């Protein structure tokens, strides 16, 4: 009975596309943008994610949260882009498209001085560079864990991977990023 009631709640949540986009849009966009490194393409994929979710809302079974379901759709769209190599053009243009100040805006805003802001921007640039060197799976898992604050089970569901595989990719990503950042936090 509880499962059926929660499924009805999820379905009604999926009926209001404006609320759905307002609640989950920024998180999905941030994940997609960091995953592929191109803001314009990320916006397109994010729109497609919500369109697919809205059109497929009747097939939502309620096995996971709406958030996890949306991240799964976004992940599949990213995978499709990688598989078909449609964004090779975007990858070449990425060097000019990334604005480091936008990346720094995702960091907590405890900046009390221009020096602190400059250091935050520099650290964001270092993290972005380190992310580019990770494998696709390591990058996605790292972003879902630390940017989207998902737990390992949610990441496992989102990516369709066993939890132990998620743990392995996450550990390798953390080790690689720490090595590139000089072992500091």
* pLDDT tens string 64-92: 888 899 999 999 999 888 776 544 544 45
Predicted local distance difference test score (pLDDT) of residue 11? 53
What integer best gives the mean pLDDT of the chain? Answer: 79
Q: How far is Cα 61 from Cα 100, in angstroms, rounded to an integer?
A: 39
Question: Residue 52 has what pLDDT?
Answer: 93
**Distance between CA 82 and CA 63 in Å, rounded?**
27
The DSSP output letter for 184 is -
- Contacts of 99 by beta carbon, 8 Å cutoff, 6+ apart: none
Residue 72 has a pLDDT of: 92
Domain ranges of the chain: 1-98
pLDDT at 1 over 50: no
HEC profile of 97-160: HCCHHHHHCCCCCCCCCHHHHHHHHHHHHHHHHHHHCCCHHHHHHHHHHHHCCCCHHHHHHHHC
What pLDDT is stored for residue 138 in this prediction? 92
H-helix or E-strand containing 45? helix 39-55
pLDDT at 126 over 90: no
The pTM of this model reads 0.59
- Name the CATH code of domain 1-98 (choices 1.10.1740.10, 3.40.50.970, 3.40.50.720, 3.40.50.10320): 1.10.1740.10
81-106 mean pLDDT:
54
């Amino acid at each position: 009975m509880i499962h059926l009631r929660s499924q009805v709640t999820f379905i009604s949540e999926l009926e209001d596309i404006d609320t759905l986009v307002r609640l989950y849009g920024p998180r999905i966009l941030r994940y997609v943008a960091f995953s592929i490194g191109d803001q314009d393409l990320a916006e397109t994929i994010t729109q497609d994610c919500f369109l697919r979710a809205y059109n497929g809302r009747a097939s939502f079974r309620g096995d996971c949260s709406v958030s996890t379901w949306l991240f799964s759709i976004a992940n599949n769209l990213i995978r499709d882009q990688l598989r078909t190599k449609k964004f090779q053009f975007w990858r070449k243009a990425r060097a000019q498209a990334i604005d480091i100040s936008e990346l720094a805006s995702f960091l907590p805003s405890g900046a009390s001085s221009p020096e602190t802001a400059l250091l935050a921007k520099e650290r964001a640039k270092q993290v972005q560079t380190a992310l580019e060197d990770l494998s696709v799976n390591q990058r996605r898992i790292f972003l879902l864990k630390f940017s989207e604050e998902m737990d390992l089970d949610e990441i496992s569901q989102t990516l369709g991977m066993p939890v132990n595989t998620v743990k392995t990719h996450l550990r390798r990503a953390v080790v690689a990023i720490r090595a590139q950042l000089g072992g500091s936090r």
